[in-house]
Amino acid sequence: MKYVLVTGAAGGVGRATTEALRLAGYGVVATDVLSAQQWRENFGEESNTPYFPADMSRADSTLALRSSVQSLGVELQGLALCAGIAHSQPLLETSLESWQQLHAVNSTGVFLVIREFAQLMIEQNPKDNTNARGIVTVSSNASHTPRAEFGAYGASKASASSVSLSFGLQLAQYGIRVNTV
């Protein structure tokens, strides 16, 4: 079975992606900031999906997630980076704390997850040049279309898009495609 790690699996795009992948026959490893107990309480039928709580904005949490996924003994075919947060406020009213939180989750999280799990995918199958593996980062059109109320959010998504494209250039040699939607 082909496995995909889905970040932000507890809500919105992440939950829909998890469901779509499962229906398409993929094995899903899910992660979000919910505790394992909260995951089971909220997603009864998905509780059979391996779930590991993690905060994508923290390197230690991402490393622990990698270790947990490795302990499953499954080969990852892909990543769906759906974790994200949004704050709606004009830049003149955006606090440094809000700016940093948006970038920590939406941009740093993408960097940390791709860095750790692309390395894992390469270690698991370094010679797979069939383009069968892929990474998808969920971004936003706010990354290239400025909005008065979403300046900080748009900047964080622009950073996520850019880092994903740069990883794509580096990972192509290993047959790992990186796309941003």
- Residues with a catalytic annotation lie at 153
Residues 6+ apart with CB under 8 A from 164: 81, 110, 114, 135, 137, 139, 178, 179, 180
For residue 132, give the amino acid letter: A
Among 86, 119, 122, 71, smallest CA distance to 8 is for 86
For residue 76, the SS3 value is: strand
35 CB-contact burial (10 Å; exposed 0-12 / middle 13-18 / buried 19+) = exposed
> 21 with 46: CB under 8 angstroms?
no
